Amino acid sequence: MEKFTSLTSVAAPLPLVNIDTDMIIPKQFLKTVKRTGLKAGLFYELRTDEQGNPKDFVLDEPAYKDAKILVTGDNFGCGSSREHAPWALLDQGIRCVIAPSFADIFYNNCFKNGILPIALPQEQVDMLMDDARRGSNAVVSVDLESQEIKGPDGGTITFEVDAHRKHCLLNGLDDIGLTFEKAEHIDQFEAKRKATQPWL
């Protein structure tokens, strides 16, 4: 998993509440177990009409096409527990989502896939949403080590993050990486068990 230490990027505004995982990536795009190529389905119903023709959508606007930060509404990622949702965001290049609240499973899946979800009070999200509406001038910096967000005018917002999850993101550790951190202890246990219980 790619490390997350700090990020400076244009922030894209998506002022909608209750964006569920089916809206993030519809069911027809879930036939793959690969983590690449999923950006074609990201927010598909918001980006295309019934014939598949493009509609106006923030991430397709020139000012936001390279945005790595998404500022959005309450209860982001609700609905089914599909891990394809953070995969699709990552494939688009989104590394940080800022919202007043997140659905629990989606929130956990973000950390396991290298995305930093930041929950802030509504008034702070509103400020960042206003900043994000500036287009290419909406440059926001997120520093995980100091747990600070700096807006385009230099204002600073602090955020909370669980210490263990912070450690995992800073060091690029998913569940497998965490296991490998204990490889020496695992090897010692296996060697001891083999010596004392060779029949197993």
Say how many domains are in the chain: 1
Does any domain span residue 190?
Answer: no
User: Is 185 inside a domain boundary?
Assistant: no
Tens digits of residue pLDDT in 23-66: 999 998 888 878 888 999 999 999 998 888 999 999 999 999 99
Q: Distance between CA atoms of 176 and 3, rounded to whole angstroms?
A: 14
Residue 148 clears pLDDT 90, i.e. is over it: yes
Q: Which domain holds residue 29?
A: 6-173
Q: What pLDDT score does 192 carry? A: 78
Tokens of residue 5, six digits:
């230490």
Q: Is residue 109 part of a domain?
A: yes
- Kindly report, residue by residue over 98-117, the tens digit of the pLDDT: 999 999 999 999 999 999 99
Question: Does residue 118 lie within any of the structural domains?
Answer: yes
Q: What is the pLDDT of residues 82-91, one digit of tens each?
A: 899 999 999 9
Has residue 149 been placed in a domain?
Answer: yes
Does some domain include residue 33?
yes
Q: Is residue 81 part of a domain?
A: yes
167 versus 137: the higher-pLDDT residue is 167
Q: Is the pTM of this model over 0.85?
A: yes
CATH number for the domain including 165?
A: 3.20.19.10
Residue 103 lies in a domain: yes
